[in-house]
Every structure is written in structure tokens, then in C-alpha cells.
Amino acid sequence: MTATARTLGSLPLRPAAPGRRRASSTPADLALLLIGACFLLPLLWLILASLDAEAGHELKLPDRAGLDNFAAVLTPELLLRPLWNSVLLSGGTATVTVVAAVLAAYPLSRYRSRFNRPFMYTVLFGTCLPITAIMVPVYGLFVQLELLDSMAATIFFMATTTLPMAIWMTRNFMEGVPVSLEEAAWVDGASRMTALRTIVLPLMKQGLGVVFIFVFIQAWGNFFVPFVLLLSEARQPAAVSIFSFFGQHGAVAYGQLAAFSILYSLPVLVLYVIVARGGSGSFALSGAVRG
């Protein structure tokens, strides 16, 4: 169980290296650098092409490097509106997920019941369903319920797909907050929900941040769900608009595509760094769970 909790809790994080290590070896360095170079090359194209007004598929240094591509895509309808849609979609998804996950995790972590284990395992099973497989049925369902092209419905659906993972992570963080603190509040007559709001949540702020960012990153990068469920251009997030952009201008404007990609990727890269750097305390917390 501990291993699950740890795997689930640690996904977005870089585990800290321990102090003890053997003498470093040069062959290991070289092997690692070789593999690293293979991983770097596709990314390198993205960066070089974004700076090159005449970029194609090939990897080359720009004849004259400049920010023309960035200037070309930085228009309201091309980049800013889709990015704003991404913010709404990801922010909404992360908010709904965190609220539902906190509410669900509280009784599951605080009360003993025969119901807890089967529920958590059912939720765990939910994390396993291939979401791409249910997109065709979800589309059908949305047609029947007339929810197609609705931002709110898409947010609730995306929140549901990340909810199982979020419930596990939130419960693990909540287990790290000692019950004794709440018991003092109960004695003073506070209700369970008041205790949750005023005592438990402030103490697991960092953990909540990790869950929020984790869900936000997933929603931000999600292409398939909005691609299927949001039809009108005015509502499409950057993930989808970049795809239509590629379809329409791709053959000529690879530099702009790369610039667009970089601007669209920056927020999640920053968020990831925040979690990986600042979240080590809560990471330890999530690792110290009992099943």
C-alpha cells in the first residue's frame, strides 16, 4: 500500500537524491550524456525553430535569429484567447477536482468504516480506465444530454477523469495531519466541517497546492478531451487551436508553430519546477503514509 501511495503521491516530483553515493564514474557519465543527447535533440528543434523565421523540419542554427515568430503568433485570436480558454479550463478543472477530492478525502481519512477500503480500491480502479477509450462514448453521452461545446460540462468531465488520482493524493496528505488537533476543536464545539476548514486545510496547504498544480498541468496539456468535446473556435483551449493552426499553416510556418508551442508550454514548465523545488516537504509527507 505504501508503495502505491508513494507512487501516486510522487508523480509530479523529482525524488531528492540521498546524501550517500559511491565514487562517480566517467563511463556512467558518458553513457548518461549520450542518452540525454537523444532526449535533447527533439526539444532542441523546438527552440531553434522558434527563433528562425525560415524554419523547416530540419535542425539548424537560424541564419538570423530573432523573435519574429513570437511576435507573429502573439495576437489575440491566435494565441491569447486560446491561452485564456486554457486557463479557464485548467483552473476550473483543478478547482472542481480539489474541492471534490478534499470533501471525499476527509471522511475517508478520519472515520473507520468497512466502506473505506472497497471505496478506495474502486477509486484506484478508476485511475486505470483508459480515458481515450471512453471519449467516443462520452461524445455520444454529451450529444444525448446536449452538453456538447459546453465549457462547464467539459470542466466537470475533465475534473472527473483526474478525481480518482486526486482523492488518493489528498487522502495521503490528510493522513499527515494529526487528528489530535481536530479533537481539541471538537471539544470546543466546532463542527466537523469547521474543523476541516480552519484546522486541517491550512495545515495541508502545501499538499493541496501539489494536487491543484498536478491536476492543472494535466488539464493544460490535455488535447484529446477538448478536441472531442469543444467544437467552436471561441471556446477551444491552446492545445486544440495549436492543432488547427498546424493543419492550416503548418506546411509554411514551422517557426511560428514552435514559438506557439513554447509560449503554450511555459506555464506548465514553471508550475512543474515550483512543485519539484518547493514541494519536497509535502513529498516527504505523502511518502510517509500508511495504507
Partner 1 sequence: MRSPATARQLLRYLPVLPAVLLLLVFLAGPVLWAFHASLTDAGLTGRSARNPSWVGLENYQRLLADPVFPLSVLLTVVFVAGSAVLGQNLLGLTLAVLMRRARPLVSAVVGTTVVAAWVLPEIVAAFAAYAYFSGDGTLNQLLGGLGLVRQDWLYAFPMVAVMLANMWRGTAFSMLVYRAALNEVPAEVTEAAQMDGARGWQRFAFITLPMIRGSITTNLMLITLQTLAVFTLVWVMTAGGPANASTTLPVLAYQEAFKFGDIGYGTAVASVLILIGAAFGLGYVRLLREPRP
Q: What is the 3-state secondary structure (H, E, C) of 114-175?
A: CCHHHHHHHHHHHHHCCHHHHHHHHHHHHHHCCCCCCHHHHHHHHHHHHHHHHHHHHHHHHH
| Interface positions, 101-130, toward partner 1 (CB under 8 A) | 101, 103-104, 106-108, 111, 113, 115, 119, 121, 123-130
Q: What's the chain's length in residues?
A: 291
**Count of residues of this chain found to bind partner 1 when the rule CB under 8 A is applied:** 102
* 230 neighbors 237 (Cβ within 8 angstroms): yes
Binding mask 228-267 for partner 1 (x = CB under 8 A): x----------x--xx--x-------x--xx--x--xx--
Binding mask 140-179 for partner 1 (x = CB under 8 A): xx-x------------xx-xxx-xx--x------------
Is 222 one of the binding residues for partner 1 (CB under 8 A)?
yes
Is 84 one of the binding residues for partner 1 (CB under 8 A)?
no
Cell of 104: 471525499
| Interface positions, 21-50, toward partner 1 (CB under 8 A) | 21-22, 24-25, 28-29, 31-33, 35-36, 38-46, 49
For residue 163, give the nearest of 222, 225, 237, 93 by alpha carbon.
93
Q: Which is nearer to partner 1, 207 or 260 (CB)?
A: 260
* 195 neighbors 204 (Cβ within 8 angstroms): no
- Rounded Cα–Cα distance for residues 266 and 165 (Å): 24
Minimum Å distance from CB 291 to partner 1? Answer: 9
